[in-house]
Structure 1
Amino acid sequence: MTRYLQILLGLTLATCAALSPALAEDSDSGENWSIAIHGGAGTIKRENITPEKDAEIRAALNAALMTGSNILRDGGSAMDAITATIIILEDDPNFNAGKGAVFTWDKTNALDSSIMDGSDLSAGAAAGINGTKNPILLARAVKDNSPHVMLSGEGANQFSREQGLEQVTADYYATPRRIKQIEAVLAKEISVADVDYKFGTVGAVAMDRNGNMAAGTSTGGMTGKRWGRVGDSPIIGAGTYADNRSCAISATGSGEYFIRLGVAHEICTRIRMRWPIAIDEAQLTVPKDADGNYTYMIHASEFMLPDEEIQQIANDVIAELGELGGDGGIIYATPWGQAGYSFNTAGMYRGRATSDSEQSVEIYGDDE
């Protein structure tokens, strides 16, 4: 029995009757919000990161998280919060998105991004692009200003220019570290698997004070990728998904496996299917009167899935990803204000904040 059901089991009729207006008042106050971010997952171990780089990455995550948190705290939308948050991460060369994106086999850049609004399931994505300074803005422009969900390649680049998005030259994305990586791969000094086992994709998910949810993901892709390879990041349902009825998800990791399992959508679907069942289970714990009628009816507006159930659903899907051979992780936000993550790698650049808790950032698997 879950902790929530145990609490319900002990409620008297008088307590139940008093519970409803209190919960309704909290809901109407519109103060609840939450946000989670990631900057990649993989073999991220303490012994492999200098104290200086550790501090630098934590500062970057904190800056991005604070940007999104401030927007949500001030009553801004989840869409605006995740967009602004991801821009901060795209502009930071510590991550594989925007500036600092990895190189393809041909020593070019091919960036991917996606964004989704959980209030109406509208979405936008861009695949294999270059020239746009902030790919997440192109994904949002596709969602807001085109009849399509995904644009790719030169067509997406043209659309970006027509939308007036800031353009950059190819050297903007390049950093000495990324140049060194692709040159080592091409010289066959290291394998693609070795260089990419620390995924640097960035993403953010959020719920705003109106209860609307959003998710976004941005990446430079895979070092040395060929033949126009596209991973999960721009694919709605694989690397990104948001639905007010269940959750918002952004993923990072070995994209082919996230695509095969439809990880982002799978987690949201399991949450959405579990919720009405949990309500029915909770109703069974409510006392009945002498005629056998429930003394109180639990309403959906006052019921939430407990933290441990949300976490278990996310963990189960990531475990299935691992069984297929995939590595990586996800961040999530729920309609009930929870924000968290699940991953099967040694570490994951991550952070979260809610209206009820202070913001925190973590890097390693054993971070508290």
Structure 2
Amino acid sequence: MKKFVLAIHGGAGTILKKNMTTDKENAYHEALREALEAGNDVLNKKGTSIEAVSVAVAMMEDSPLFNAGKGSVYSNSGKNEMEASIMEGGDLRAGAIAGVKNIKNPIQLAKSILFDDDFVYLIGEGAEEYAAKRKLEKAADEYFHTQFRKDQWLAAKGEGKVLLDHDADKKFGTVGAVALDIYGNLAAATSTGGLTNKKYGRIGDSSVIGSGTYANNNTCAISCTGYGEFFLRAIVAYDVSCLMEYKGLSLKEACDQVVMKKLVEMKGEGGLIALSSHGDFEFSFNSEGMYRGVVGSELSLKTYIYK
């Protein structure tokens, strides 16, 4: 059987061991492990990379530990407004959604759009209407409520600020996955709740194909996490692919060029996970840490938090 690989992330940022309790650290490792095992199970049973990344991301959306799905931060209106995108590297099909509320697993909605020839990107009420037609699972406001996120939002609102996932230790809690299946196809998926106290229907890079998510069988699959405005301006995910396709850079060289040079010069903090069509993977980030992990047919399951 040809080899398969799955890599995931649960956000990057100023993640320091001194700020982490043992219980919290263990909880993050366990959540990453569960997502990796679920996605790996799909690939091991000859499933597709699209199915693997969507399953892995949905598992992280179901955890209150990450800023996606259940753990999404509150917007200025006191609602959880989510975005997600998914792409496959064979014929460059993609699906993306933004500004959606009460969708239990935004990544499943994005995946549903990927298989629809009429659309790539849907937003707000239209995306929710589409989800209802596809009978995708909804969840009440209470499902998304966590006291930690509520307190964060109230503090941000009181100060009139828009905050990263939790500004005390500056973490970007976006979740994402990249996979290579036995058929040689790459896929990437990303999901987030965005910024705490965000206004005016603000959208980050996570739902934007080419900025937060990209997959091309000729080069790589990428899922990003960071301060979205910088990742949008730098078109990060596609830039890595372009450097490989047009300049002949290796996966590592391309990631370093974009994350450690281009983004740093722009003062854009964050990182990405990358997987080449040969099954090479990279965890590239210019922050103190990134929740991440990898598993594959020739790789034992490993999870990491710090640099």
TM-score category by the smaller chain?
over 0.9
What residue is the counterpart of 1:356 in the other structure? 298
Summarize the Cα distance change of 1:194–1:243 in structure 2 as closer, same or farther, 3 Å threshold.
closer
1:164 is displaced (CA, Å) by: 0.4
Question: Is 1:342 paired with 2:284?
Answer: yes
What residue is the counterpart of 2:134 in the other structure? 163
What residue is the counterpart of 1:45 in the other structure? 16
1:338 is displaced (CA, Å) by: 1.1
SS state at 1:192 partner? coil
Paired positions, count: 304
Provide the C-alpha distance between the structure 2 equivalents of 1:190 and 1:103, rounded to a whole number of angstroms. Answer: 13
CA contact (8 A) 1:57 1:94 kept: yes
Summarize the Cα distance change of 1:190–1:53 in structure 2 as closer, same or farther, 3 Å threshold.
farther
1:187 is displaced (CA, Å) by: 1.4
SS state at 1:341 partner? strand
Q: Which residue identity lines up with residue 85 of structure 2 in the other structure? A: S
Summarize the Cα distance change of 1:57–1:194 in structure 2 as closer, same or farther, 3 Å threshold.
closer
* Paired residues for 1:74-153 under 5 Å: 74-153=45-124
Alignment deviations for residues 234-273 of structure 1 (CA, whole Å, 9 cap, x no partner): 0000000000000000000000110111000000111122
Aligned equivalent of 2:266, options 292, 312, 324: 324
CA contact (8 A) 1:35 1:354 kept: yes
CA contact (8 A) 1:339 1:353 kept: no
Question: Is 1:228 paired with 2:182?
Answer: no
Q: Which residue identity lines up with residue 261 of structure 1 in the other structure? A: A
* Paired residues for 1:298-309 under 5 Å: 309=250
Alignment deviations for residues 51-71 of structure 1 (CA, whole Å, 9 cap, x no partner): 000000000001101111121
Provide the C-alpha distance between the structure 1 equivalents of 2:58 and 2:269, rounded to a whole number of angstroms. Answer: 25
Provide the C-alpha distance between the structure 2 equivalents of 1:316 and 1:111, rounded to a whole number of angstroms. Answer: 30
Provide the C-alpha distance between the structure 1 equivalents of 2:162 and 2:242, rounded to a whole number of angstroms. Answer: 36
Provide the C-alpha distance between the structure 2 equivalents of 1:310 and 1:167, rounded to a whole number of angstroms. Answer: 38
What residue is the counterpart of 1:302 in the other structure? none
Provide the C-alpha distance between the structure 1 equivalents of 2:117 and 2:137, rounded to a whole number of angstroms. Answer: 18
Alignment deviations for residues 292-331 of structure 1 (CA, whole Å, 9 cap, x no partner): xxxxxxxxxxxxxxxxx32121011002111111110000
Q: Which residue identity lines up with residue 164 of structure 1 in the other structure? A: K
The structure in which a higher percent of residues are strand is: 2
* Paired residues for 1:245-324 under 5 Å: 245-275=218-248, 309-319=250-260, 320-324=262-266
What residue is the counterpart of 1:188 in the other structure? 159
TM-score (norm 1): 0.80
Aligned equivalent of 1:210, options 165, 173, 183: 183
Provide the C-alpha distance between the structure 2 equivalents of 1:155 and 1:183, rounded to a whole number of angstroms. Answer: 29
**Percent of aligned pairs with the same amino acid:** 42
* Paired residues for 1:172-183 under 5 Å: 172-183=143-154
SS state at 2:70 partner? coil
CA contact (8 A) 2:12 2:290 kept: yes
For structure 2, list consecutive stretches of 5 or more residues without a partner in the other structure: none
Q: Which protein is bigger by CA-based radius of gyration?
A: 1
Q: Which residue identity lines up with residue 8 of structure 2 in the other structure? A: I
Alignment deviations for residues 18-74 of structure 1 (CA, whole Å, 9 cap, x no partner): xxxxxxxxxxxx421111100000010001110000000000001101111121122
Q: Which residue identity lines up with residue 174 of structure 2 in the other structure? A: T
Summarize the Cα distance change of 1:125–1:194 in structure 2 as closer, same or farther, 3 Å threshold.
closer
CA contact (8 A) 1:37 1:204 kept: yes
SS state at 2:171 partner? coil
Provide the C-alpha distance between the structure 2 equivalents of 1:159 and 1:39, rounded to a whole number of angstroms. Answer: 27
CA contact (8 A) 1:347 1:363 kept: yes
Provide the C-alpha distance between the structure 2 equivalents of 1:167 and 1:100, rounded to a whole number of angstroms. Answer: 15
CA RMSD, 1 decimal: 1.4
Question: Is 1:69 paired with 2:69?
Answer: no
TM-score (norm 2): 0.96
